[in-house]
Structures are given as C-alpha cells and as structure tokens.
Homo-oligomer: A and B are copies of this chain.
Amino acid sequence: MKLCMVGVRGHNNYVLSGLPLTEVSVAGVCTAAAEDDPQLLLSKCRDLGHEPEVWDHPAEMLDAVRPDLLSIAGPFHRHAEICVEAFRRGIHVFCEKPVALTLEGLEEVAEARQAAGVHFAAMMGLRYDPAFHTAWRQVREGAVGEICLLNTQKSYRLGRRAPFYHDRSIYGGTIPWVGSHAFDWIRWYTGKAFRSVYATHSAARNRDHGELEVSAVCHLTLEDEVFASVSIDYLRPAEAPSHGDDRVRIAGTEGVIEVLGGEVILTRAGGDGDERLPVHCDRQIFPDFAAAAAGEVQPLLGPEDAIEMTRACLLARESADGGRIVRFP
C-alpha cells in the first residue's frame, strides 16, 4: 500500500517506527503550514529506504499520488479539513489527535468518513503502551468487576514550547491536546458513553506561553452513574525522571487497578494485596492501522474512537471556557 504523510507537528514517530513491520511504502510527504519544513521527515523516510516525493499542498499530493493511506500530523487546526479531503478520495486516514478543533469540523469529518466507509484512526498511542494495554485486558476480563470510578492523570514537562502551542486558534487548547488521551482511556476502559462534563482550565503561571493552559481538571459523568476525573498539567519539572507522568486508576465492585509509573498494580477482592502484574502489548499502532485498512485485523482504534474522543475534548473545552456543565448530545 502507498502512504502519504502530511505535517510534522505530531507523532510521526508512530508511523516511522511501524513502517518496517509493514509492506507500506511512503510515496509522498507534505506540510500544511508554510513555516513547517518537511526536510527532517523526508530524510527519516529515506533512512528507512523510502523515496517519497515532496509536495506543497496536501490536496495536490493526494490527487497526484493517489495513496491508499494518509497520515496527518498538524497543523492541528487543519486536521479536520485534510481528513475530509482524504475521505472524499477514499483514502484511509491515520490522524494526530484531536481530529478537529471545532464541533462543526468534527461533524464534517464524521460525515465524510461515514460516506467513504474507509478506516480512520487517531494517534492514541497510549492504547498500545504495555502498561495501559495490560490494564485494559485485565479490566475487560473482569479483574475489577463493574467499574464505578476512574481517576486519570496526564502531567507533562512544559519545557519551551514552539509558538504554535501559544495560540489557541491553532493549538486548540490543553484539554484537547493533552487530555485527549484521558478521554480515550475512559471510553476504552469502560465501554460506556459520556453523559456530561464539567471542566476548568487556566493559563495562569504558564511561563510566558501565551494562551497555553498549564492546568486543567475535567469531571465526567458516564452512563450508569460512573464518574471519572481527569487531571492535566504541564507542571512536571524538567528534572523529573520522564517527560510524562501518565496514570489511570480504575475502581470497581471487585477491586482497583492502577497504571502508575509504567507499572500495573491490581488490588482485587479475594486477591493477595497489591499485585504488580507483568506488562506487555503485542501490537503496534501504525501496523495495526495499516492492517485494519487492508481489512486484515480488527484494530484497537476505530473511527468511532477518533470521533467520540475528539467530541469529549471539545465539549470539555467548551465547559471550561464557559464555566458550565455541558451535556453530551
């Protein structure tokens, strides 16, 4: 299969590290912002033995190359429009999250995807993380019984962020950019629909990063009186042992399971106190995407996941901006 790649602002490493495990060839690369330089991406593709042509405009590339697959990694505010361009041409899309920065854009993506019937996945790489994946298998096998409560955390180092993070209109906000993972975990672990969200966020004390919010809390209610908290921050010191401190804690009728520091800890009724489980995941995100596009596997990430995760991000941001509880449609 032929792949085109648009953009250099996201997790292209998911594509590049997965390519050698597939039969996919990179046929074209392009950016969608004048200030983004495709040269580094191009040289990484060449290092892997691909010889993509470089294009100036995504639509032009899609018409000329006619790829089977498209990966999209920024600018974030153009994700929706580029997704729609691809879907209209029958191309399967692997898109950085969130897949839209407005609810209107998201509806266009959902409709075009539905009409095309192609595969669509967002770059929610943490579903393939050994610890998060292990916890998911445990939960699915009933390790904690019926889920009642989830607490999630995304804590990042701020460092010095590129200018496109400083501007809400192109960055989209911290709840979508960082919180998307937590919303995805909550849907994935519970299999339940969101009912409402209340969120707050703040750009105070952001070390001169414009509109970038450095702290946020989201509070979700799901069906069946299941609650979830999402804590998001860019307050992790540079000296911390890792970039991100990603956590999830899931409490159910039969126990509590937790991902913390890359470990999975299960405390279950009838069990032996706090048990540390061996972690693994035998799938990778890009090969999974490509195989699903070829109709060969049931992927971990499907179109509905991309769309509903993005919807949750945008409604939470709306709640935080408006200072009010927002109901899901």
Residues of A within 8 A of B (CB): 146, 148-149, 151, 153, 155, 198, 200, 202, 204-205, 214-217, 219, 221, 224-225, 227-229, 231, 233, 235-241, 245, 249, 251-256, 267-274, 323-325
For this chain, the copies found in one complex come to: 2
Distance to closest chain B CB from A212 (angstroms): 13
Chain B residues in 8 Å Cβ range of A153: 151, 249
Partner pick for A239 among B148, B205, B228, B268, CB 8 A cutoff:
B268
Partner pick for A151 among B231, B271, B273, CB 8 A cutoff:
B231
Chain B residues in 8 Å Cβ range of A214: 148
Partner pick for A200 among B205, B227, B235, B238, CB 8 A cutoff:
B227
Partner pick for A217 among B224, B228, B325, CB 8 A cutoff:
B228
Determine if A149 and B271 form an interchain contact, defined as CB atoms under 8 angstroms apart: no
Chain B residues in 8 Å Cβ range of A221: 200
Partner pick for A269 among B215, B228, B238, B324, CB 8 A cutoff:
B238
Instruction: Please report whether the interface of chain A is mostly helix, strand, loop or mixed according to DSSP.
Output: strand
Chain B residues in 8 Å Cβ range of A149: 215, 217, 231, 233, 235
Partner pick for A148 among B148, B215, B238, B249, CB 8 A cutoff:
B215
Chain B residues in 8 Å Cβ range of A274: 240-241
Task: Give the docked Cα–Cα distance between A114 and B274 (Å).
Answer: 47
Partner pick for A253 among B155, B205, B272, CB 8 A cutoff:
B205
Task: Give the docked Cα–Cα distance between A255 and B235 (Å).
Answer: 7
Residue of B nearest to A199 (CB): B219
A sample of 20 more A-B contacts (CB under 8 A), given A215-B225, A237-B254, A237-B269, is: A148-B215, A149-B215, A149-B235, A151-B231, A155-B251, A155-B256, A200-B219, A202-B225, A205-B253, A217-B227, A217-B229, A219-B219, A236-B251, A236-B256, A237-B255, A239-B269, A240-B273, A240-B274, A324-B325, A325-B325
Distance to closest chain B CB from A286 (angstroms): 32
Distance to closest chain B CB from A189 (angstroms): 15
Distance to closest chain B CB from A191 (angstroms): 16
Determine if A216 and B205 form an interchain contact, defined as CB atoms under 8 angstroms apart: no
- With contacts A205-B148, A217-B228 known, is A237 near B268, CB below 8 A? yes
